Chain A
Amino acid sequence: EIVLTQSPATLSLSPGERATLSCRASQSVNSYLAWYQQKPGQAPRLLIYDASNRATGIPARFSGSGSGTDFTLTISSLEPEDFAVYYCQQRTNWPPMFTFGQGTKLEIK
């Protein structure tokens, strides 16, 4: 089973700053890596799929990069509504399954 490790566990930043979140896979996932945002009491929301493609309606300040085992989610200039927990996720073909990282909490400094 592929394990996804996110870092840091918590990131404290101020609005307007740049956020860089990391996700490392225990083996290559090619570019099949997605990022989600989750706010308290809400379902996760898809931000990025296939490493670098923004989902429908996602602002341009969110960008994803990477391939193989190392991936990054960047928020170029934090807005107040961006403070949340972020998860990465990969999918394997065999056995077919989705796995998630443990999350990075982005909090207001």
Chain B
Amino acid sequence: QVQLQQSGPGLVKPSQTLSLTCAISGDSVSTNSATWNWIRQSPSRGLEWLGRTYYRSKWYNDYAVSVNSRITITPDTSKNQFSLQLNSVTPEDTAVYYCASSGKIAAAGTALEDWGQGTLVTVSS
């Protein structure tokens, strides 16, 4: 089973960049059979998928339309982890952020199977 361990700051100032990392154990970020996702949860927006990175002979990224202009998800093969950067944050980006894997149990990648522990990120000056 894949285990995901999140790290990163819990407080970010408005207009700055939110950065979180998700360390993977039990699998490789470079596997051809999984995708690596970021999701957030807030009372106002519920559960919201933000984007993913995955390797299929080369690296691909997909991002949600709502954050497409501000988000970058990056794999780090040397550390077997992937990272989220969200630029120009506002208080509306305050949420619990989760990383999650997909594609190992549901082969079509239709479910988010293993989750990190979550990180509450507050955007405030």
Where the two chains meet, the residues of A that have a C-beta atom closer than 8 Å to any C-beta of B are 32, 34, 36, 42-46, 49-50, 53, 55-56, 87, 89-91, 95-100, 102-103
Closest 8 A/B residue pairs (Cβ): A43-B115, A49-B111, A34-B111, A100-B47, A98-B49, A49-B106, A32-B110, A96-B62
Across the interface, A43 reaches (CB within 8 A) one of B105, B110, B118, namely: B118
Tell me whether A91 and B110 are in contact in the complex, defined as CB-CB below 8 angstroms, given that A43-B98, A103-B46 are known contacts.
yes
> In the complex, how many residues of chain B place their beta carbon closer than 8 angstroms to a beta carbon of chain A?
26
Q: Provide the residues of chain A in CB contact with B47, threshold 8 Å.
A: 44, 87, 89, 100
Across the interface, B65 reaches (CB within 8 A) one of A49, A53, A95, A100, namely: A95
Closest residue of B by beta carbon distance from A55: B105
B112 contacts partner chain A, Cβ-Cβ < 8 Å: yes
11 additional A-B pairs beyond A43-B100, A87-B47, beta carbons within 8 Å, are A43-B115, A46-B113, A50-B108, A53-B106, A55-B111, A56-B1, A56-B105, A91-B111, A97-B65, A98-B112, A100-B47
Where the two chains meet, the residues of B that have a C-beta atom closer than 8 Å to any C-beta of A are 1, 37, 39, 46-49, 52, 62, 64-65, 98, 100, 105-106, 108-118
Q: Provide the residues of chain A in CB contact with B105, threshold 8 Å.
A: 46, 49, 55-56
Q: Provide the residues of chain A in CB contact with B114, threshold 8 Å.
A: 46
Question: Could you tell me the dominant secondary structure of chain A's interface residues?
Answer: strand
Q: Does B46 contact A91, Cβ atoms closer than 8 Å?
A: no
Q: Does B110 contact A34, Cβ atoms closer than 8 Å?
A: yes
Roughly how many angstroms separate A82 CA and B105 CA in the complex, as a whole number? 22
Q: Does B112 contact A46, Cβ atoms closer than 8 Å?
A: yes
Between A and B, 9 residue pairs with Cβ closer than 8 Å are A43-B116, A44-B98, A44-B112, A44-B115, A50-B111, A95-B65, A97-B64, A98-B39, A100-B47
